[in-house]
Amino acid sequence: MTYKQKCSHHGWALLELLVVSVSLADELVCRHRGDLENPQLSKDGDIILGGIFSLHSSWKERQETYTHKPLWNFRDFQTAQAMLFAIEEINNSTNLLPGISLGYKIYDTCGSMAKSVKVALALANDNEVAPVHSDTPCTRPAQVQAIMGDTASSTTMVIATVIGPFQIPQVRKINDLINHISKTYYSLVTQADKSKGLAQLVRHFGWTWVGALRSDNDYGNKGMAIFTEAAQQLGICLEYSVSFFRTDPRSKIQKIIEMMKHSTSKVIIAFLTFPEMDMLMNNLSPHNFTGYQWVGSEGWIIDSQTAEKDRNHILDGAIGLSIPRAHVSGLREFILNLKPLNLMENTMLAEFWEALFNCKFKQSNSTTENQTECTGNEDLSGLQKSFIDMSLMAIFNNVYKGVYAVAHAFHNFLVSNSTVLQLHVILQHIRKIHFKTKEGDEVYFNENGDPPAKYDIIHWQPIGNGVVDFVTVGLYDASLPADKQLIMLSMQVPVSVCSEKCPPGTRKVLQKGKPVCCYDCIRCAEGEISNTTGLVILNPEFWSNDRRDACVKKHEVYLSFEEIMGALLTAASLFGTCMTAVVAFIFFRHRKTPIVRANNSELSFLLLFSLTLCFLCSLTFIGRPSEWSCMLRHTAFGITFVLCISCVLGKTMVVLMAFRASLPGSNVMKWFGPTQQRLSVLAFTLIQVVICILWLTISPPFPFKNFKEIKDKIILECALGSTVGFWAVLGYIGLLATLCFILAFLARKLPDNFNDAKFITFSMLIFCAVWITFIPAYVSSPGKFSVAVEIFAILASSFGLLICIFIPKCYIILLRPEKNTKKNMMGKGAAKTT
């Protein structure tokens, strides 16, 4: 099968510029194996998969005479073998791509970004380069139909840019699908979830003051940027965050080490790839750099080579996120069954065997001295090298699943009876795959081309002789709700904070010029507490205790029957009620006597009834306010007092009319007889009833919790609702009282021996004085005292009316009965001048 790739000369010019740029920036010294026309490992097939792996690794240090020679990267060689194992399984399968064989072309990039670009160009268009000033399209078919990419994010991004125009799908070893339909690079969704997972892991252990190291490449810089943002949201502060690369001079690494030694944070976040971690460990070995908690990314956290080189136990107890562990049956046997004698024509495999056993074949061009001769029958099982280490089986499994993902996509494409191979359609099929491996693992990609973000939490537990047991102590699953993403087993960890946690009862105050994790502790203010969960601003219904470490419910304050003031006011109210009842009883027993009959007995009894209600309505102001009591207390008070004042006003008008009626030719009493007196009292009262109904309908009084008056208590009171309604009720009472006072004052010196207007005048004077002084006292009294003031005003004015109007009559009835005669009542006295 072939696929015609076309690109404009502008696109090739851009790619050539990219190759030149990365070549100039790359400090890697790569030993070239073969050339771009001849891959290091290859096999023909109907569908060819490309492989880009860093089978060798080497670097030189600037301003140093020491230079590494190229070394075998056994990890990536194992990864390449996992790809071959998957291809062999698929070719032997009768269910997946039956009758179609998979081939491969694998190139060694030596970790060089520049060579990665060249390899990508070779795989994309078989090295054909159109002239820059030519409109001739590229016509050479692509060598491969899919590519298994490098681990490094930076290399992958460059490769993605190169093969983007060709729409060749690329699958990385960490199981990310790279989308090349657009010219832009893929979204780092898995990277983001991984970085956020590390931030949650750090916060889980309470580490708020940490240092950070990162690889100076796309992997480290982007990963640390996402971690930093997530850490800030979780209240984690970074004391330092520095980057370095494997090619940096040793002097730079030494400066970083000195900075780490002089820092106060005891937790180090290492967002590093293996080469940078290896370089860092080599430079840390001469230093006594123990006692630090390392938190690692998947780039090194389960790398047995890193653990093996940590002779000084610098990384003991390290913890971090790792790709979930996996097992691929038959893969270990396939890798360890490698025999170069069967593939001696492949120079790279022969050299690999020589490096593995430190020997050389007779045909080899190796010039290394003191080497034994290779027989080809050496036993791999006895080796102590990283090639036989299967701790990276999770990465091998991802390569294995990646090959199967591509195979399933081609299978689904061919099942659809398509005859022309279109790679952009293959890419769409890869996005839609969903299958299970033979081990039962589900494989699928989300809309961003990423697998589900699930990571094991690995803890380094040394077991002696330089061997580290990578123990799984938790799980991070980004697909779960935020509060359930991190699942951890309990374990002992060190403390790393800039400032110790504030003890209960104190709060944080940031130190000037320092990060938010550096603070002083001061005593909490009133209304605040701090406990194990931190500073708490209390609900208005609660208050802080003296130690400021616990909240106590505020005491509710209201005028109750149990307290002394409430009991005294209740007793006064009941006494007034009883006193009124006694007066009524006396008047009833002597209802036929002249003094009772002369004072309009009907209005007198109605007045006594209303005074009884006035005394009793004061009780509604005592006790816990409720919705009904708040509405009842003011309306009952307003209506009963108007009824009371209406009766007094009626009695006053009777006195005036009676004097007018005694004048010759006057018939005024027929216009203000008993019926008119009743109607006047009813009319005056109904006006107040209407006012109260309007008040209750529009905005009635309601129970209210006052938190502002007294800071450590809750005042339970009745809010007025409509203040207009309240003052309308009081104003109407005041209006009637003023009118009554004026009329009584005018009638006070009428010539009767017993002139009721005198007593009414005095009672109204007391009434008005009480309520005039009530207003400022009510407004200025706090809490329950305002209620007490209002009750006192009600009782005082009620007692004033009762005593001034009825007690003199009772005195005559009980103690001076000789004056209780009609003759005495009708006697005239000399008129007195004012």
Percent of the chain whose predicted confidence (pLDDT) is above 70: 76
**pLDDT category of residue 825 using cuts at 50, 70 and 90:** low
Whether 680 is in a domain gets the answer yes
Whether 2 is in a domain gets the answer no
Domains in the chain: how many in total? 4
The whole-angstrom separation of Cα 544 and Cα 325 is 51
Instruction: Please report, for the domain that includes residue 146, its CATH number.
Output: 3.40.50.2300
Whether residue 707 is found in the same domain as residue 624: yes
**pLDDT category of residue 341 using cuts at 50, 70 and 90:** low
Query: Which tokens hold the place of 532?
Result: 């194990």
Whether residue 31 is found in the same domain as residue 119: yes
Whether residue 709 is found in the same domain as residue 797: yes
Whether 30 is in a domain gets the answer yes
Whether residue 540 is found in the same domain as residue 604: no
Give, for 750, the enclosing helix (H) or strand (E).
none
Higher pLDDT, 387 or 676: 676
**Beta strand 293-296 pairing with 319-322:** parallel
Residue range 341-359: mean pLDDT, rounded:
72
How confident is the model at residue 201, as a pLDDT?
93
Highest mean pLDDT among 110-114, 145-149, 529-533 belongs to 145-149
For the segment 625-679, what is each residue's pLDDT rounded down to a tens digit? Answer: 888 888 888 888 889 989 988 888 887 777 676 665 555 545 555 556 677 777 8
The whole-angstrom separation of Cα 81 and Cα 252 is 37
How confident is the model at residue 93, as a pLDDT?
92
Domain span holding position 540: 523-553
How confident is the model at residue 189, as a pLDDT?
39
The average confidence (pLDDT) of the chain is 78
Residue range 792-810: mean pLDDT, rounded:
87
Percent of the chain whose predicted confidence (pLDDT) is above 90: 17
Whether 462 is in a domain gets the answer yes
**pLDDT category of residue 145 using cuts at 50, 70 and 90:** confident
Residue range 540-554: mean pLDDT, rounded:
82
How confident is the model at residue 18, as a pLDDT?
44
How confident is the model at residue 119, as a pLDDT?
80
The whole-angstrom separation of Cα 26 and Cα 149 is 19
Residue range 346-362: mean pLDDT, rounded:
78
**pLDDT category of residue 419 using cuts at 50, 70 and 90:** low
Whether 368 is in a domain gets the answer no
The whole-angstrom separation of Cα 182 and Cα 827 is 120
Whether 659 is in a domain gets the answer yes
C-alpha 483: how far from its chain's center? 10
For the segment 478-527, what is each residue's pLDDT rounded down to a tens digit? Answer: 878 888 888 888 777 777 788 888 888 888 888 888 888 888 888 888 87
Residue range 695-708: mean pLDDT, rounded:
88
What is the torsion angle, in degrees rounded to the nearest 10, for the CA atoms of residue 274, residue 280, residue 283 and residue 284?
-120
For the segment 218-250, what is each residue's pLDDT rounded down to a tens digit? Answer: 889 988 999 999 999 998 999 999 999 988 898
For the segment 25-80, what is each residue's pLDDT rounded down to a tens digit? Answer: 443 444 444 444 567 788 889 899 988 888 876 544 443 433 344 577 777 888 88
Overall pTM > 0.75: no
Residue range 601-618: mean pLDDT, rounded:
88
Whether residue 196 is found in the same domain as residue 312: yes
Whether residue 256 is found in the same domain as residue 171: no
How confident is the model at residue 463, as a pLDDT?
82
Collapsing DSSP to helix, strand or coil, 742 comes out as helix
What is the torsion angle, in degrees rounded to the nearest 10, for the CA atoms of residue 41, residue 44, residue 45 and residue 47?
60
Residue range 562-590: mean pLDDT, rounded:
91
Whether residue 425 is found in the same domain as residue 462: no
Residue 184 scores a pLDDT above 80: no
Whether 655 is in a domain gets the answer yes
Residue 88 scores a pLDDT above 80: yes
Residue 432 scores a pLDDT above 80: yes
